Each structure stands twice: as C-alpha cells, then as structure tokens.
Amino acid sequence: MSELENKTENGSTESAGECASGETKDDKGLGLGVIFFIVAFVVCFLSGTLLFPKLLYSKKEQPFNFDHELHVSEAGDCDACHSYRDDGTFTGIPKLATCLDCHTDEPLGETEDEAIFAEEYVANEKEVPWLVYSRQPDCVFFSHAAHTIKAGNDCKTCHGPIAESTSSRPYEENRLTGYSRDIWGKNIFGIKKHSWDRMKMDDCAECHKKETGHQGYCFQCHK
Amino acid sequence: MKVDRRSFLGLGIGAVAGIAVSPVGLKLMDDSSILTQTTKLWPWALDHDPLDGEIIYENSVCSLCPGACGISVRKIDDRPIKIEGLADYPVNDGGACLHGIAGLQYLYDPARIKTPLKKNGDKFEEISWEDAIALVAGKLGDVRKSGATEKLACITDKDQGSVSGLFQRLLAAFGSPNFYTMPSLESYLEITAAAIHGEGKTIAFDLENSDFVLSFGAGVIEGWGSPVACFKANATRKERHAKLYQIEPRLSNTAANADKWIPVKPGTEADLALGLCAAILKGNMFDSMATSRITGGFNKLAAMLAKDYSAAKTAQITGVKEADIMKLAKAFAKAKMPVAVFGKGRGDGAQSLKEMAAVQTLNILVGNINKKGGVFVQNKTEYLEFPEVTKDSVAEAGTSKARLGRYVDQLIEKINASSNPAVEALLVYNANPCYSLRDTKRVKQAMAKVPFVVSFSSFLDETAMEADIILPSHTFIERLEDVPSMAGLSKTVVGLTKPVISPIFDTKDPGDAVIMIAKALDEAVAGNFEWESYEECLEAVTAGIWDSLSEDGYAVISEGVPTGSQAVNIGFLAGSPETIQAQGDFDLTLIPIDNMRLVSGAAAASPFAVKTLADTVLKGKDIVVEMNPLTAKGLKDCSKATLTTPMGSAKVLINLNEGIMPGVIGMVEGLGHTFDNKYVSNKGVNVNDLIGPVLESGSGLDAAFGIKAKITKA
C-alpha cells in the first residue's frame, strides 16, 4: 500500500467518522425536510386536482330542467327535435318554434319546469337561452351530417347517453376561455373511459385515425 | 427536530412537485392557448363572431343607384349577413357591384337617424312619429290656408316609382307644380329625347349588341347607367368582336379598357360630335333613309356643320387630329351596329344638351335609331295606375301657376334671389342637394331661406342637417318598394324591393310617411289618399304587374328593339346653341372624375367602398388630384398643393399622371362628406364645393364640365 493510499485510507477513516457524526445530526433535518416535502406535495397535488377545477369552472344552471328521457319516450328519437335542414345543416338545440309543435302556452305536464317554460318563454314568444354543453370553440368547423348521415355514427358516440337523462346537470363554464367543461371532459387529468368523455382535437384525430386511417388535415376543421 | 433551511427546501420542492404532477400546468397551458383565440381577449372582434342558425336566402332589388339590380340576401335566422347578385335577374344576372355587396353596411351606418327629429336651435331633438306628422301637417296646413299652395316644393331623386308618385300626388292635391328631381342620367335621357324626338320619350342604348360603341366620356365600366349590366355588356365585347372608343380628356378605367382612347379638350365633346357629323355628311356616309325622316332642322344643321365644323376647324377646337377625326367618322359610319353614347362619367353630373343632342344626331345620321345594337327611342315607362287626383279650387289654382324654375338649379336660384320666401315648405326625399349640386354653399343658403324643410332621409347627411324636421325612412334592406330600372338600359324591368329584416330603428317607409301627412291635412287633400298603408297603395297602383312583381320579384315591361319610327327634329342643334365655357380666368381646368368605388347620389359610399380607394385617389385624409407632368409647373409627385378655383380653394396632394391631358386637373367626386360618419366623412374634399354651376342657355341645364383653376405649392 503506498503512502498516499494510506493517507487516503486514514483520511477517509477520519472523514468517515466526521460524516457519521454529521449524519446523525442532519438526519433529523432531512427527516423534517421529507415530511415538509410530502405535506407540500400532497397539499399542492390535491389542490391542483380537486380545488383547481372548482376555481377554474363556474357553475351555471340551465333556465329550467329538461327531461330528455321523457321527451324521447313521447316524441321519438333524437332527430324528432334535433333535426337537419334541407341544406344538410344541423339545427342543434331546437328553437321555440320546434317546441311549439307539441307544446302550447298551457303546460303539458305538472312540473315546475313545465310551468316556467309555458309562462316565461312560450307566452312571451322568447327563445329559451339553453347553455350548450357540447359547443365547440368558434374556430372549429363541424358538420353533423358528415358524421352521422354519411359516416353512420349514432348520436351517443359523441354525446353519450344524454337521451337517458331525466334532469339537466349544471353547465360548467371555463372562466378563462368561456367554453364548456365538456370539451376537456369531467376528468381534470383528461383521462377518458368512453368516446364521449372528452371532445378535444386529439379525440377527433384519434377517431379519424381509427375510422379513416388518417387523423385529418388542419383545414378540414379550422377553415 | 429543528426546522432549518433544508426543511423549507423540502417544502418548496414538494409544492412544486405537487403542482407539477397535478393537472394545473397542462390545463392552464391549454386554456391559455384557447384564450388567445377568443373574443374575450380581443373584444373588438365580438361583432365578427359567426352566428349559428338557419341559412335563408331572400331575393330583393337593390335601390342604391338607378341600376336596380336583383339581389339575393343571405340571412342566418333573421339577420341579413351578405348581399349577392341574383342569378337570372334580367338586369344583372347574378352580378353585383361593390356598393351593392356592401349594402348591409347602410343598415348599421353610424349616421342613421333612429327616430323622428325636430330642430331646436342648432340641435336636433327626438320626437314621436305622431308629433312629427302633426307638426308637418300643421305647417303644410298653414301654407294651404294662406292660398299660396305653390310655395310647397319637393325634391326627390326621380319621377318614377310609386313613392315618387305619392310625393307628386301630394303636391298635386295640395296645389303645387313645384316637384323637382335631382339630375340623373335618366333625366338627361328624357331631356335629350324631348328635344329631338318629342315629350314623354326616353332613350336607351343597346350596348350588349352593338359592334361599335363610341362613348363620349360615359364611364361604361365606372358606374354609368346600370353599372352591372354595363360591366356585363363590356365583358362580352371581345367575344363579339365589338369595339369601344372612348372620348374624354383623361385615361379613365373605361378609356384604358377601350380599344382606343381619344383625348379631347374638356368641354369640346359636343364640337367633336358635330365635327364627326360634318365628316359623315361630307363623306356621304349617312343613312339617307334615316335622314329623310328628319322633320326639322336638317338642312340648316348641314349648312352650319359645313361652315363651322370642317375637320380642320374641329381639330383646332377639340385637340383631336384632323386625320383621326376623318378615320373615326369613317369607322363609326361603316360599322354594322354603331352606337354613340353620351352622359359623361356616371351620367348624373352636369351635362350639356348641346353635347347630348350632338351625340344623338350622330346616331340619327348613321340610322341606328330603334335598330339592334343601336339606340332605342321609346315612350317613358308608365306602369303605375294612380287614380286621377281630385283637386279643389285652391289646388287647381296652385297647380296652374308657373313653376319656380325649370330644374332644381333654377329652384335654388329663385329661392336665393327672393326677398320673401319663394318656398314656404320643402320636402326632400332620397336626395342630398347640399352635397351633390354644384356650389354647395348656395344650396345650403337656399335651404336656410326656406322656413320649413322636411327631410325623409335615412341618414343625417348634409341636407338632412339643414332640415327643420326629419321623418327617417327605412333603408332599402328594410322596406317595400317598386324599383324601375332606368339609366339607359335597353330593357325596362320593374323590380320589387322587399324588406329582408324588420326595421332596426323607429323609422317608416317614406310612402307611409307621405300617406300619414296627407291624411292629416284637410279633406280635399286627404281624400286623394284612401289607402291604409303604403303596401296597400303599392298593390293597388301596380295592379297590372302585381302578380309577377310579388311572385317573380320583377316584371319586364319592355324588351327587344322597339317597333315603329320616331319623330326626329334637330332644330335645337341647327340653332347653333352656344358652347359652355368653364368659369374663371385661371390657366388650368379642374374636371370632376367619377370613380366606380365612390358614389355621388343620395347616399354616400359605404365604409367598405371607401376603404377600397387607391392611395392615388385618397391618401389618409387627403384627396389626390391628377395632373399631367407637362403642366405641373414644378410640383412634384405626392407633394402638397393648394388648388384654387373661383369658388374656393382646397388642400390637395398631387399625382403626376400622363394619363390626363396637359392643362387639366382631375379630382374625384364623392369624397369630402361632412356628416357624422367616421368611416366616410372628413376624407378629402367635395369637388362640388369648388365648381359652380354654369347654366346652358336654351336648355337651362347646369352644364359646367369643370372650372378654371390654379394650383400652387402648399
């Protein structure tokens, strides 16, 4: 063993001894640091996951409750109310005139919602200011006819089992962008279980890739 | 355990890691990028949001100019979004001009009058329709009681159509002969036809079939006549192997597009036309069948032409070479279907009857009257069936009195010259005389001298500003009206303008306003207005064509070559009417230029149209005048200068341009509005402020083709 190595060995022994004494002292600090780390991590993670969405989205109630299930059973399938015009464009949320095909200013049912509809809207010939959960940003062009009549998708593929709902859930509006929460999806991580859970551009591309073999070009939707 | 630096480090790292693992970062980044595309960040873009709704097309007729094109208005639900030309419409067949497609901007014009207004001192105050009608009826009632019913006068844009018919009916029942129209191509066509072919006639040009169009300054592709119909006729020129020769002092767009541009000294177009007539007669190139039908003035005219209009003399007067005159006369006379066209620029500015009659004589000599590709002379369109006016003795006495003046210029002169009010009450509908007549100062002065001026304008324009009371009209987007196509079109079509949106302000159809006023007057007047509404009146007076108007949107009154020969008397020209001279002693001559992107009629150009002006016309807020470098006298291109005429002076920018004859300054017409519309007003100057009227003896028309001017460095 060389002198140098001996020195090093000695040196290291010495320093190891110092370190050992230091570790004992620092262990407490590190332990506390770890606890602080974990607490801060957990608090921030939970805030970002649970509190943040509550701050980001404001909740708005629909003008009155709408029972899709009842309407489907009384009026028929989706296209009984959500129809296509002669030129192929989609009417979306029906106008008051469509409602008046069946309704009058005399309530048809006995619910409070029916009374609101008849008194506030039908009697005053005022359109119902429905909040549209599925409204895409203005920069997106979307043709319902191409996706349903041409491609044969059913409404549920994108809109989910809305036809089975008996009441209107609150509309959640993104305070920053002003768009509906349904575009990003209920899950704040953006994880989806069903095809209708999210409706971001990637979701369009994913389905296009699967169905047509290509994710599509920019100008197909962003005209 | 001790809380030390490391603990805080742990806290910080933990917080950062917690946030980083949470969806906050990703979500905020996504939302921020979307935010940049929303109107939340760019609130000015709010109005441009695309609307969602049902797309509907509604057909109507544009009445912005006398062209009367069919339009298709695209609506989303109830809101009109875009105006397009209506396919298969007999006037424009799908075409549209920039004023038509921007027509919706008039609906939301900042200068729109939202409710009836009454002048109080220098300001207007809002009043209700009931009060406004009562006020007008009260004042008119006073005039009628005074017995001097001829002191009610009316100025409108035209004498055709049922709304104009209602104004004329009101004056007749009231007892006044003082109904005037603003100068228009249609009025000039009628005046020329009356001078040569007899009263009640009008002239049309078959441009789409002619093989040689000799245009005396008519801006065939710059808004002359029915603009879109003219564009279309010109567009097929090459296919038809037809020629267009353009005679004017400036290389206008029409001249640039023509087969030949013949520069002529301003104001000598009549002399060139007479010189061509002389050359045709001398060369024995005239149609002897046609000249044999001339009932008066032919021999006298022929002698005068031989004496005063030899090619050499004409060349000296007009600046066109002798050889060119001979060649041109030959080309015109030898063409199969030649047509000579008059009406400088858009044809609605000042015109001389001598010039128009001389051009029409050219047509007569080559025998193209009522021939395919020539000139159609026929009776004025009469499709309205108003019941005869029942006049009481006051009205009989009033209407049999002499008119205050022959045309609107003489009316203005008379009002200004009288010490007592020559006109007690003046109704102004669809006309802006305080902007579009020459020497606007005298027009404003006349307006101020009339004790009670009622405007029916939709916009608070220069004339409406001078009014005592304004009964605002719907715009053409919001109202019902019959619109006859006029302006020299070879077929006569009456279109129906229909409301495509409910009125957005508290305005009325001018027809309804007139009926309401009449009904509020005494029984002798009111009895002539038994309709409940203008709509009822329109249906009644257009009974003969109502079915096609309401079903097809238009009715074709006449089409094709008119049959029968027409009387021809060229005595007016044979009397050697004097040639108009430009007013003033300066060296240069200022002439107005008509630009397709501007208008000079009742409405101002839309913001969109003004935005399309090149900066050789309007640079910033400065008007640009054209000058030939040879007579620019040291002025540089784009330099600032002061333009002075006997009427006033203005700051201008110089555009040195070899496309204008030396000695001539060209200034665009249609700028320099002064009313409250930031997109259109206070840009450039109104050329009518700088040019005064020069009345032609004999015809009484304002025939000032320009004015003498000087230009100095500013």
Provide the shortest C-alpha distance from residue B33 to chain A (in Å): 9
Can you tell me the ipTM of this complex? 0.82
DSSP bridge partners of B218: B345
Q: What is the pLDDT of residues B62-92, one digit of tens each?
A: 999 989 999 999 999 889 999 999 999 999 9
CB spacing of A29 vs B4 below 8 angstroms: yes
Nearest CA in chain B to A55: B24
Under 8 Å between Cβ of B659 and B543: no
Structure-token match 């991580």, residue found: A189
Q: What is the pLDDT of residue A30?
A: 62
- B654 and B625 Cβ atoms separated by less than 8 Å: yes
10-residue averages of pLDDT along chain A (223 residues)? 44 42 50 86 92 94 94 92 89 91 84 91 92 89 92 93 93 93 92 93 94 92 88
B-chain residues near A28 (CB < 8 A): 1-2
Tell me if residue B206 falls in helix, strand or coil. Answer: coil
Amino acid at B13: I
Give the minimum alpha-carbon distance from A8 to chain B in angstroms, rounded to a whole number.
31
Distance CA A108, CA B33 (A): 46
Half-sphere CA count of A163, side-chain side, radius 13 A: 16
State the average pLDDT over residues B597-605.
89
Q: Is the pLDDT of residue B40 over 90?
A: no
pLDDT at position B575: 82
Of the candidates B510, B560, B507, the one whose C-alpha atom is nearest the C-alpha of residue B534 is B510
* Angle B578-B583-B588 from CA coordinates, rounded to 5°: 115
Q: CA A155 to CA B495: how far, in whole Å? A: 46
Q: What's the mean pLDDT in B620-646?
A: 93
At residue A105, the pLDDT reads 80
B116 vs B128: CA distance, rounded Å: 6
Taking residues B36-63, what's their average pLDDT?
79
Task: List chain B residues with CB under 8 Å of A139.
Answer: 37
| Residues, chain A | 223
Mutation target to probe the B interface, by most B beta carbons within 10 A, among A25, A26, A45 is A45
Residue B47 confidence (pLDDT) above 60? no
Answer with the residue of higher pLDDT: A19 or B198: B198
For residue B488, what pLDDT is reported?
81
Assess A190–B contact: CB distance below 8 Å, yes or no. Answer: yes
B14 with A37: Cβ contact below 8 A:
yes
Which residues in chain B have their CB less than 8 angstroms from residue A179's CB?
34, 38
Mutation to test the A interface, candidates B19, B35, B49, B79, most A Cβ within 10 Å: B19
- Summarised one tens digit per residue, pLDDT across range B257-281 is 999 999 999 999 999 999 999 999 9
- The CA angle B376-B380-B385, to the nearest 5 degrees, is 145
Chain A interface mutation, best of B52, B57, B79, highest count of A Cβ atoms under 10 Å: B52
Window from A79-88, B153-162, B639-648 with minimum mean pLDDT: A79-88
| CB pair distance less than 8 Å for A174 and B15 | no
Report angle CA A114, A117, A118 to the nearest 5 degrees. 90
pLDDT band, residue B382 (cuts 50/70/90): confident
| A·B CB contacts under 8 A | 122
- b or e along B186-209 (b: 16 or more beta carbons within 10 Å of the residue's beta carbon)? bbbbbbbbbbbbeeebbbbbbbbb
**Min CA distance, B606 vs chain A (Å)?**
28
Buried b (16+ CB within 10 A) or exposed e, B77-89: eeebeebebbeeb
**What pLDDT is attached to residue B489?**
84
- Measured CA to CA, the distance from residue B497 to residue B100 in angstroms comes to 13
Range with lowest mean pLDDT among A172-176, B289-293, B552-556, B681-685: B289-293
Chain A: closest CA distance from residue B500 (Å): 20
Q: Which helix (H) or strand (E) holds B233?
A: helix B227-235
Cβ contact B669:B317 at 8 Å: no
In 3D, which of A97, A89, A195 has the Cα closest to residue A143? A89
Cα separation values, B197 from A174, B52, B271, B377, B702, Å = 76, 57, 21, 8, 22
pLDDT the model gives residue B50? 65
Ordered DSSP codes for B304-356: HHHHH--HHHHHHHH---HHHHHHHHHHHHHSSSEEEE--SBTS-S---HHHH
Q: What is the pLDDT of residue A28?
A: 55
Nearest to A48 among B1, B2, B18 (CB): B18
**B1, B13, B32 ranked by CB distance to A32: nearest:** B1
> So what's the pLDDT on residue B470?
97
Tokens 């205050």 belong to residue: B404
Q: Do residue A138 and residue B2 have CB atoms under 8 angstroms apart?
A: no
Regarding predicted confidence, which is higher, A11 or B333?
A: B333
Residue B469 CA to residue B136 CA, distance in Å, equals 8
CB pair distance less than 8 Å for B15 and A188? no
What's the mean pLDDT when you consider all of chain B?
A: 92
A151 touches chain B (CB under 8 A): no
When pLDDT is averaged across residues B351-364 and rounded to a whole number, the result is: 94
pLDDT tens readout for residues B455-479: 999 999 999 999 999 999 999 999 9
Distance of CA B139 to the CA centre of its chain: 31
Q: How many CB atoms lie within 10 A of CB B686?
A: 22
Record the pTM: 0.84
pLDDT digits (tens, 9 = 90+) for B95-109: 999 999 999 999 999
